[in-house]
């Protein structure tokens, strides 16, 4: 395995841990500060923080099947952890995807929904959270790795 972004397993665990901690703290803050309020304008007409509860995943997909979604997310996290142990290396993309998945899974198990609060009001887009940012960065890195030209041997 020759990752596109070469970092150590310890570094990748640290980054994943930071994202998970930021995610859980920011959701705690959102629930205690934004729930029941109109929201908080961060940058007018660009970015607001608005409390939302999402029983589904991106764009509320699977919102009517929370148990199925929890099983899928748990299985995906378990598979990435298993693969990391098998190759004896935790890549940055896997670490970020696991971290984001765990952040949202914690919410699902604790509340039955995921707390979202970051609202980019300048576009018609879903409200999201820090775990979603980690997931998307991890997927982006994975796609970079997959589509980069391979060296011929």
Catalytic residue set:
116, 132
H/E/C letters for each residue in the chain? CCCCCCCCHHHHHHHHHHHHHHHHHHHHHHHHHCCCCCCEEEECCCEEEEEEEECCCHHHCCCCCHHHHHHHHHHHHHHHHHHHHHHCCCCHHHHHHHHHHHHHHHHHHHHCCEEEEEECCCCCCCCECHHHHHHHHHHHHHHHHHHCCCCCC
Cα–Cα distance for residue pair 51/25, rounded to 1 Å? 14
């Amino acid at each position: 395995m020759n990752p596109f972004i070469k970092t150590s397993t310890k570094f990748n665990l640290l980054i994943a841990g930071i994202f998970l901690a930021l995610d859980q703290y920011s959701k705690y803050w959102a629930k205690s500060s934004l729930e029941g309020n109109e929201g908080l304008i961060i940058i007018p007409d660009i970015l607001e923080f608005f409390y939302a509860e999402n029983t589904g995943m991106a764009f509320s997909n699977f919102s009517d099947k929370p148990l199925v979604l929890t099983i899928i997310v748990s299985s995906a996290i378990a598979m990435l952890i298993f693969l990391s142990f098998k190759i004896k290396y935790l890549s940055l993309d896997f670490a970020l995807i696991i971290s984001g998945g765990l952040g949202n899974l914690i919410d699902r198990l604790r509340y039955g929904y995921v707390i979202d609060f970051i609202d980019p009001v300048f576009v018609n887009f879903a409200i999201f959270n820090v775990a979603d940012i980690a997931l998307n960065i991890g997927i982006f890195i994975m796609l970079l790795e997959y589509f980069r030209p391979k060296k011929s041997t």
